Structure 1
């Protein structure tokens, strides 16, 4: 008997996901009835985007899992009606895209490329950057995305430090945890990359106090979550020169309002939440694998820890 899979996301997502999902389910050997509408009590799996409009999971009495289309789950993990297993999206395409974006912007700041790209004014600026081994990069967040980015930067020779809430061990990365570890990680950051999940413990993790731990003139690169940073504290640090530049891909409100001071600040680069995007083909394969596992009685992959929030 086919399993019933509800695709709960905005209509434009269905247009791009329908064919890859059907193909992935077929390749996984799963016979499925895939649709955007069906009676809640008949649904076996929910492929879910938090902006879909589905907020009450209580009617889904026979569903086995909610399979999130996004890597971030902060908009659903606290839903009091959700008692089903919740899997976040860990997708090779998303990971590779994040590695490429982070590597590109870290190299941009490491090499001082802006001076030559923007400074076409006849001035011969021969400022030689240090080698990567002499540039300290800190990664806040060592989950799947953070670890992949830290390893990629480490292979380029950067002196890598990583911080996470729980202690990790990664070859080529000095791994720290805890409050004292956070301070040491920030103090070791010529370039700081944020790839933490958004939880009650990580919101505003960069604030007036913690920003002061950074070396003078440090660069911040945030492709993680907007609320990881206190905007007012960051602007003050940029105005004083304590932070040399901030490249920001995520914001508290998106699209970033036109009147937000980030747009006009000379030491801020705004990118429109493009650091990484879930790729339909590879994401569909992840979803299909979890449905195959559920039907085979095998453990789901990428399950969210409700207590930790990710």
Structure 2
């Protein structure tokens, strides 16, 4: 009998139960109060909650991101795995493509004019005249960059080590400002590491042309809140779509709601289905029981 505990600080984990038990009926869900479990299935668990579990052999995130788990200073020294949804790249590509086209076709200006009942035709330019930068060239970023290139945009890519992508000019870690300097729109899809924490700051936003736009669907901790808000209020950023924040959900009084030309989206860019979560967690639990290599195991030193 393999015992599973569901842990989260504020997120309702109950929708995971049915698909998990459908995929592996032999599993037993136990309450956190029992104090022991073989596997912890998590999203943003409370610091220290994992360390208090006796007999723990595996920690499994229900998402692709694991930074909320790695941030726990008392994280037990057991394998950590994440969910990689085959449809995740498609969802992220759709979201980013919508955001890029929103700014490229100046729909933000059209919507402001609509609210004021102003008929004005914004100047339209060819996609080739827009330079889009994609930060993070893993599975998601590479797919997004390729799709934007197919639309005809001039695309640049940035990653820790320089990658080779067809039709995309790429840059490495020591070339960040050079990467940023000509961008009309910056797309952030980076993983969260110590090197990328706070990367969307005043210095880097100022490296882009005045009025550049931001689409952020990486991690909330990439944002330096006051710097991003300042750039929007001062016009250095001409607009933004932000899907992830360091504290979610945003409170009704949060300053981001009132920032000029900012669309707040509720961490919806791309989310794994509960069926996918259940199947992947169940598969890894069975691998664990059989002593087989785990799928999508995280390298804690790299953070992904």
TM-score (norm 2): 0.87
Matches within 5 A, 1:40-119: 43-51=37-45, 55-57=49-51, 59-61=53-55, 63-78=56-71, 79-119=73-113
2:142 & 2:283 partners in 1: Cα distance? 23
2:283 & 2:170 partners in 1: Cα distance? 32
Alignment equivalent of 1:251, drawn from 245, 252, 262? 245
Does structure 1 conserve the Cα–Cα contact (< 8 Å) formed by 2:48 and 2:74? no
Does structure 1 conserve the Cα–Cα contact (< 8 Å) formed by 2:200 and 2:223? yes
Alignment equivalent of 1:162, drawn from 146, 157, 170? 157
2:7 & 2:17 partners in 1: Cα distance? 12
Q: 1:6 Cα shift?
A: 3.2
Alignment equivalent of 2:257, drawn from 238, 259, 263? 263
1:24 aligns with 2:20: no
1:176 aligns with 2:175: no
Structure 1 residue aligned with 2:266 = 272
Cα RMSD of the aligned pairs, angstroms, is 2.6
1:241 aligns with 2:235: yes
Does structure 2 conserve the Cα–Cα contact (< 8 Å) formed by 1:20 and 1:284? yes
Alignment equivalent of 2:139, drawn from 144, 151, 157? 144
Structure 2 residue aligned with 1:209 = 203
Alignment equivalent of 1:133, drawn from 128, 131, 150? 128
1:15 aligns with 2:8: no
260-269 or 83-92, larger mean C-alpha shift: 260-269
2:129 & 2:81 partners in 1: Cα distance? 39
2:78 & 2:265 partners in 1: Cα distance? 35
Q: 1:59 Cα shift?
A: 4.2
SS of aligned partner of 2:14 = helix
2:12 & 2:226 partners in 1: Cα distance? 35
Alignment equivalent of 1:196, drawn from 190, 195, 216? 190
Structure 1 residue aligned with 2:294 = 300
In the TM superposition, what whole-angstrom CA distance separates every residue of 1:146-178 from its partner, at most 9, and x where no partner exists?
233223323322222111113333333322211
1:128 & 1:193 partners in 2: Cα distance? 23
Does structure 1 conserve the Cα–Cα contact (< 8 Å) formed by 2:183 and 2:212? yes
In the TM superposition, what whole-angstrom CA distance separates every residue of 1:191-232 from its partner, at most 9, and x where no partner exists?
101112223221221222111110221001112222312222
Q: 1:108 Cα shift?
A: 0.6
Against the structure 1 CA distance between its residues 210 and 21, is the aligned structure 2 distance closer, same or farther, given a 3 Å change threshold?
same
Q: How many residues align?
A: 301
SS of aligned partner of 2:198 = coil
2:16 & 2:252 partners in 1: Cα distance? 31
249-258 or 84-93, larger mean C-alpha shift: 249-258
SS of aligned partner of 1:32 = coil
In the TM superposition, what whole-angstrom CA distance separates every residue of 1:249-308 from its partner, at most 9, and x where no partner exists?
222332223333322222222222222323101222222232233344432122211112
Q: 1:17 Cα shift?
A: 1.6
Does structure 2 conserve the Cα–Cα contact (< 8 Å) formed by 1:65 and 1:85? yes
Structure 1 residue aligned with 2:224 = 230
TM-score (norm 1): 0.85
1:48 & 1:227 partners in 2: Cα distance? 19
Q: 1:14 Cα shift?
A: 4.3
Q: 1:102 Cα shift?
A: 1.6
In the TM superposition, what whole-angstrom CA distance separates every residue of 1:127-160 from its partner, at most 9, and x where no partner exists?
3422223211111122333233223323322222
Structure 2 segments unaligned to the other structure (5+ residues)? none
